Chains A and B, each alone.
Chain A
Amino acid sequence: NAGVTQTPKFQVLKTGQSMTLQCAQDMNHEYMSWYRQDPGMGLRLIHYSVGAGITDQGEVPNGYNVSRSTTEDFPLRLLSAAPSQTSVYFCASSYSRTVNGYTFGSGTRLTVV
Chain B
Amino acid sequence: GDSVTQMEGPVTLSEEAFLTINCTYTATGYPSLFWYVQYPGEGLQLLLKATKADDKGSNKGFEATYRKETTSFHLEKGSVQVSDSAVYFCALNSGGSNYKLTFGKGTLLTVNP
Nearest-Cβ distance from residue A69 to partner chain B, whole angstroms: 19
Chain B: minimal CB distance from A8 (Å): 14
Binary contact readout B77-113 vs A (1 if CB under 8 angstroms, 0 otherwise): 0000000000001010101000111011110000000
Whether the pair B44, A90 counts as a contact (CB closer than 8 A) is: yes
Interface locus among A11-19, A72-80, A102-110? A102-110
Cβ-based interface call for A101 (8 A)? yes
Q: Are B106 and A42 in contact (CB under 8 A)?
A: yes
**B51 interface residue (CB < 8 Å to A):** yes
A31 to chain B: which residues have CB within 8 Å? 99
* Contact with B105, one of A40, A102, A104 (Cβ below 8 angstroms): A40
Q: Answer whether A99 and B42 are a contact pair too, CB < 8 Å, given A42-B89, A42-B104, A45-B100.
A: no
Chain A residues near B34 (CB, 8 Å)?
A: 101
Q: B17 within 8 Å of A by Cβ?
A: no
Tell me whether A98 and B101 are in contact in the complex, defined as CB-CB below 8 angstroms, given that A42-B106, A90-B43, A104-B44 are known contacts: no
Q: A104-B44, A104-B45, A106-B43 are in contact. Are A98 and B100 (CB under 8 A)?
A: no
Interface centre among B36, B45, B93, B99 (most CB of A within 10 A): B99
Interface residues on A, range: 20 to 34
The residues in B between 38 and 61 inclusive whose CB is less than 8 angstroms from any CB of A are 42-46, 49, 51
B33 and chain A: residue at smallest CB distance: A101
Instruction: Produce 1/0 per residue, A36-59, CB < 8 A to B.
Output: 000011110100101000001011
Interface residue B32 (Cβ < 8 Å from any Cβ of A): yes
Contact between chains at B105 and A98 (CB < 8 Å): no
Asked if B32 and A43 make an inter-chain contact with CB atoms under 8 angstroms apart, the answer reads: no
Q: Could you tell me if B51 and A104 are in contact, using CB atoms closer than 8 angstroms? A: no
Q: What are 13 contact pairs spanning A and B, CB under 8 A?
A: A33-B99, A35-B101, A41-B105, A43-B44, A43-B89, A43-B101, A101-B32, A101-B34, A101-B36, A104-B36, A104-B45, A106-B43, A107-B42
